[in-house]
Structure 1
Amino acid sequence: MKKEKVNLDEVFLLLNEKAERYNHPNFIELDPISIPHRFTLKQDIEISGFLTATISWGNRKSILNSAQKMLDFMDHSPFDFIKNFTEKDLRFLQAQSNNFKSIHRTFSGKDFAYFLINLKRIYKNFDSLEDLFLVQKDESNFYHSLQRFRTYFLTENAGKSSKHVSSTYKNSAAKRLMMYLRWMVRQDKKGVDFGIWKNIDQKYLSIPLDVHTANISRELGLLNRTQNDWKAVEELDLMIRKYQPEDPAVLDFALFGMGVNKDLTDKLLKI
């Protein structure tokens, strides 16, 4: 049976309406973004955000509990802890293997230790994680940027933790990294995203593609590809940027909110 086409003007009117609803501070508390919202120092925000985004799969309550576990270990001062992290701290973390055997599902205490070590190395060379995500002039999205970050981050002390840093070159949608970038890069007056990375234009952002955003995108006629991979990210980019070129990632609020809350309405006009 041939799928009916939808009126895209109506689709984007609906998406903007839903984005306005879900891009609101009321939704912070139960979302992983609530973790970096506990901090005011730029580096604390970006470190806690990066670690939280890394484990952001599955039940959101479980994600928040797991993120809390990491914050407890870092004495709720991520940047200060990273700067002063020593081999003694690493041995202590390893000694607490029963407590840290699993930080969050397959993200183990050993993975956490690798991440801490690599973050310390980065902050010895850069003031901000932003410097590792910069988009070059001839690039239209984060495809190469994310791979450059991955390569640098895993240059040393990678171990098996490399599986927790997605590779766009292997066609991953890199959902968690794209979500993290939205948090750090997007700027508006709503108070949800931070917009603390001033050297990256938000027009390069893509929708963090997961089961919710992808399924709603297909239902709305915005995405045809059946796999949730980087090719699907770019297909959705082409559609969204026609209507929302300066701030494409704002529609993540709509697509994710509609997917999680099963908030698909019958407002769409068929043509």
Structure 2
Amino acid sequence: MASGKGGVGKTWLSISLAQALASSGYKVLILDGDFGLANVDIQLGLVPTHDVVDVLSGDVTIKDGVQHFCGGTGDAAYSFDVLAGRSGVSAVSGMNRDALDKLLLSLRLARQYDFILVDLCAGIDPITRHLAAIADQLLAVTTDEPTALADVYAIMKLYLRDRRRVGGDDMHCQLVINQASSHRSGVQTYEKLLQACRFFLKWEPQLAGTVRKDSRVSAAIRMQSSLLENFPASPAAVDVGRLVRQVVHGSLPAVA
């Protein structure tokens, strides 16, 4: 899950997808790929003992580094795993790319999870670009703001270049338009990006889905609670459910 610009709702969307997938019975892991300003654990109200930097340095195993998150009640209970990032340090500059590759390979080979959602940091630092390029499926999140559109276009442009660098001739990048005023306006935003990609990149990214703007999203984030649990009929919650069905039935691969 990537975005060129911060504040487009990427982390909230990653968590909501994990909650929806886990509620449907899938085994899910969120890996917080923001190695300097991590906040997946904050939005979930977790206080992790270890994080991904501890795992990469070899201080703890993957099993010991992962934290279990439980939500819902009764028949609606669900759970998924979180490998937290580290916040407040300049960890990206010293991040070992080979160690990251080894970690992701270990997670794949273990086959413990149906979906591994990597919440990448906003921007285009080398580590973020590398993780985006090697993902089975990249979801690029944007809003209709001009700066967000320009930044997500840059993400896709670099993705095409980086994907070829790692030997991936096939392009698996889809767009998610978040905070759309309506589905129609979300599709119109996508079509603007599509025209630019056709003309300048000679490539046509697909639309994974649109998520409508919903005031209850920010309320849920402030409460560190789940929108899907507390406001299941809200527009954004309904749209997340639709997006999950696209992820599952659209046969998107296991790592996003």
- Same fold, TM exceeding 0.5? no
Question: TM-score if structure 1 supplies the norm length?
Answer: 0.31
Higher strand share: 2
- Bigger Rg, structure 1 or 2: 1
Higher helix share: 1
Question: TM-score if structure 2 supplies the norm length?
Answer: 0.32
